């Protein structure tokens, strides 16, 4: 908010401001993840695939339901922008906004990544995060946000002018196009708001503006997910590197990221059932 003309403050302004906050979504009534079962299942994992995401670029990967995947920091501090789709239907994809509303601005172990309407079901559950110690720092920042959208060449053009082709949006578009045999024009509308893996962000205390600061991630750190449905993923190694200063350019030091696909012992998932799509009948009162 800026340059707002002064308006009179009502006499009961303080009283109005003192109303208690109410959490919008009581997630206690959501279908719970069986975190005990997943904690046991992740004790015995076999690596069945690995993808290296080059710096300032993206790669796609597939994770069968009932498998785990890890996004691993290698070589240096690096932020990753993650997209997820139902491997069989690109119209069902990660719903960053609802995930934020259900869980928080930043996600961690036990939180779930929800899919878009009308499916609205957990696509993945976060089962481990080596940065969980970070919590909230003195600036109010945390890691792994679902606030930011992804760096993109359109915003960059508005803000700075010129065309930069290695923003996460473009990287994800190229990766999806290559994976699906699409043109970039066909792939682009499927790219969506991301999970900002390892990114350290918050809102400034005075004006609530979105800020970033150096990611605390170090080589060896990882965030781990359990695939609740068959997933097609794409991960971009953001041109911002650790996002300590800038993005949407070749200025920052950038490093690769690794994606590992991990299979648990089949018997360890006994009792787990993949989530069904949301049962709302889609009649909308009509």
Rounded to the nearest whole angstrom, what is the least distance from the CB of residue 171 to Zn ion in the complex? 8
Rounded to the nearest whole angstrom, what is the least distance from the CB of residue 193 to Zn ion in the complex? 12
The verdict on 252 binding Zn ion (CB under 5 A) reads no
Judged by CB, which is closer to Zn ion: 232, or 238?
238
Length of the chain: 286
Give the CA dihedral 265, 30, 197, 139, nearest 10 degrees.
-140
Q: Which stretch binds Zn ion (CB under 5 A): 83-91, 110-118, 147-155, 254-262?
A: 147-155
CA distances (Å), 96 to each of 32, 112, 139, 148, 280, in order? 19, 11, 23, 9, 20
Total residues binding Zn ion (CB under 5 A): 3
Rounded to the nearest whole angstrom, what is the least distance from the CB of residue 258 to Zn ion in the complex? 18
Q: Which tokens in the block code for residue 192?
A: 């969506």
Q: Which stretch binds Zn ion (CB under 5 A): 36-44, 58-66, 150-158, 216-224?
A: 150-158
Rounded to the nearest whole angstrom, what is the least distance from the CB of residue 238 to Zn ion in the complex? 3
91 to 130, contacts with Zn ion by CB under 5 A? Answer: none
The verdict on 168 binding Zn ion (CB under 5 A) reads yes
Rounded to the nearest whole angstrom, what is the least distance from the CB of residue 212 to Zn ion in the complex? 10
Judged by CB, which is closer to Zn ion: 195, or 238?
238
Of 188, 200, 183, residue with least CA distance to 73? 200
For residues 167 and 239, the answer to whether their CB atoms sit within 8 Å is yes
* Contacts for 184-189: CB closer than 8 Å, 24+ residues apart: none
How far is the C-alpha of 153 from the C-alpha of 167, rounded, in Å?
6
Q: Which tokens in the block code for residue 177?
A: 């196009």
The verdict on 195 binding Zn ion (CB under 5 A) reads no
How far is the C-alpha of 201 from the C-alpha of 147, rounded, in Å?
9
Judged by CB, which is closer to Zn ion: 151, or 257?
151
Q: Which tokens in the block code for residue 232?
A: 């097609």
Q: What angle do CA 232, 235, 240 make, to 5 degrees?
A: 165
The verdict on 197 binding Zn ion (CB under 5 A) reads no
**Selected binder of Zn ion within 151, 217, 235, 257 (CB under 5 A):** 151
The verdict on 243 binding Zn ion (CB under 5 A) reads no
**Selected binder of Zn ion within 238, 252, 257, 269 (CB under 5 A):** 238
Judged by CB, which is closer to Zn ion: 116, or 236?
236
Q: CB atoms < 10 A from the CB of 255, how many?
A: 20
Rounded to the nearest whole angstrom, what is the least distance from the CB of residue 168 to Zn ion in the complex? 3
Judged by CB, which is closer to Zn ion: 229, or 238?
238
Judged by CB, which is closer to Zn ion: 63, or 151?
151
Rounded to the nearest whole angstrom, what is the least distance from the CB of residue 194 to Zn ion in the complex? 8
For residues 274 and 31, the answer to whether their CB atoms sit within 8 Å is no
Phi, psi of 83 (to 5 degrees): -115, 145
Return residues touching Zn ion (CB under 5 A).
Answer: 151, 168, 238
């Amino acid at each position: 908010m800026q340059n707002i003309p002064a308006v009179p403050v009502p006499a009961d302004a303080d009283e109005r401001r003192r109303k208690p906050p109410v959490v919008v979504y009581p997630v206690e009534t959501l279908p719970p993840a069986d975190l005990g079962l997943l904690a046991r299942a992740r004790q015995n994992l076999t690596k069945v695939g690995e993808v290296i995401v080059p710096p300032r670029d993206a790669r796609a990967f597939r994770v069968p339901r009932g498998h785990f995947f890890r996004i691993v920091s290698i070589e240096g501090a690096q932020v990753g922008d993650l997209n997820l789709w139902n491997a069989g239907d690109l119209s069902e994809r990660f719903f960053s906004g609802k995930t934020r509303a259900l869980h928080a601005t930043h996600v961690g172990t036990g939180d779930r990544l929800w899919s878009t309407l009308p499916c609205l079901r957990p696509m993945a559950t976060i089962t481990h995060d080596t940065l969980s110690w970070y919590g909230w720092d003195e600036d109010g920042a945390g890691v792994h946000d679902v606030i930011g959208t992804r760096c993109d060449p359109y915003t960059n053009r508005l803000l700075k002018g010129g065309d930069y082709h290695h923003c996460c949006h473009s990287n994800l578009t190229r990766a999806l196009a290559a994976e699906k045999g699409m043109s970039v024009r066909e792939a682009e509308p499927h790219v969506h708001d991301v999970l900002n893996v390892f990114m350290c962000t918050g809102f400034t205390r005075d004006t609530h503006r979105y800020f970033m600061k150096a990611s605390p991630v170090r080589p060896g750190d990882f965030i781990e997910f359990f695939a609740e449905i068959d997933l097609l993923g794409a991960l971009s190694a953001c041109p911002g590197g650790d996002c300590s200063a800038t993005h949407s350019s070749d200025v920052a030091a950038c490093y690769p990221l690794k994606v590992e696909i991990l299979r648990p012992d089949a018997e360890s998932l006994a009792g787990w059932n993949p989530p069904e799509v949301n049962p709302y009948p889609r009649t909308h009162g009509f």
